[in-house]
Amino acid sequence: QKEVEQNSGPLSVPEGAIASLNCTYSDRGSQSFFWYRQYSGKSPELIMSIYSNGDKEDGRFTAQLNKASQYVSLLIRDSQPSDSATYLCAVGPNQAGTALIFGKGTTLSVSS
Amino acid sequence: DAGVIQSPRHEVTEMGQEVTLRCKPISGHDYLFWYRQTMMRGLELLIYFNNNVPIDDSGMPEDRFSAKMPNASFSTLKIQPSEPRDSAVYFCASSFGLGGKNIQYFGAGTRLSVL
């Protein structure tokens, strides 16, 4: 069974620090990778997507992908209390016509 | 576009009652997904549709759960009879295309409590 694994946390960082969130996946042929942010009581919202090996930066967020290691990460620079949320990793399997597989999420807490 | 619209936002019912959750996907999207989220199990895919046709319902927990999509702008998830263990947040999501760079957009969710 295809799986996406995340450390549930909570991950606690002080304001201004770098938060590093990690995700591993089992399907070596996976092609697309997404990070969703979910505030408490709200729905998941997409914040980053990445499709090829390397880094992708968007403002304070950087997604990193290493397909050989089957590993994707999200770095949040200059963390703010407003970044406190659960971050869900989602992976698009290689098999055509197959939906995204979500990890259970990592809870991030940024203290001021 | 208003995004994915779900109703009701909250539902409280008693064990044994029928529950119907509703979803209107983003106009033009051809895929619709139903998820269930709990603390223990995270976000679970229950079923998804392509052009109103169910494609994969392997995530539907048991026969008490059923889903329909009578047209491109409306879908329902029904639980009959409901049980306390069905208490969760149910999300509907839609996308244009599946996989690759096609993004799933989520509705606000329905918080279901079965007493």
- In order along its 115 residues, chain B shows pLDDT tens digits of 689 999 999 999 999 999 999 999 999 999 999 999 998 889 999 999 999 999 999 999 889 999 999 999 999 999 999 999 999 999 999 998 877 777 899 999 999 999 9
Q: In this complex, do A103 and B42 lie within 8 Å of one another by their Cβ atoms?
A: yes
Say if residue A93 is preceded by a cis peptide, omega within 30 of 0. Answer: no
Residues of B in contact with A107 (CB under 8 A): none
**Tens digit of pLDDT for each residue in A8-49?**
889 999 999 999 999 999 988 888 999 999 999 999 999 999
Query: pLDDT band for position A96 (50/70/90)?
Result: low
Angle at A73 between CA A71 and CA B26, to 5 degrees: 105
Angle at A51 between CA A9 and CA A20, to 5 degrees: 25
* Those residues with Cβ within 8 angstroms of residue B38's Cβ, 6 or more apart along the chain or in another chain: B44, B88, B89
Q: How many residues does chain A have?
A: 112
Q: How confident is the model at residue A2, as a pLDDT?
A: 76
Contact of B42 with chain A, judged by CB distance below 8 Å, is answered with: yes
Angle at A91 between CA A48 and CA A110, to 5 degrees: 45
Contact of A7 with chain B, judged by CB distance below 8 Å, is answered with: no
Among candidate residues A31, A68, A36, the one with its CA nearest the CA of residue A50: A31
Q: How far apart are the first and last CA of chain A?
A: 41
DSSP-based three-state secondary structure for B29: coil
Of residues A93 and B78, more confidence is placed in: B78
Q: For residue B105, what is the nearest residue in chain A, using CA coordinates?
A: A45
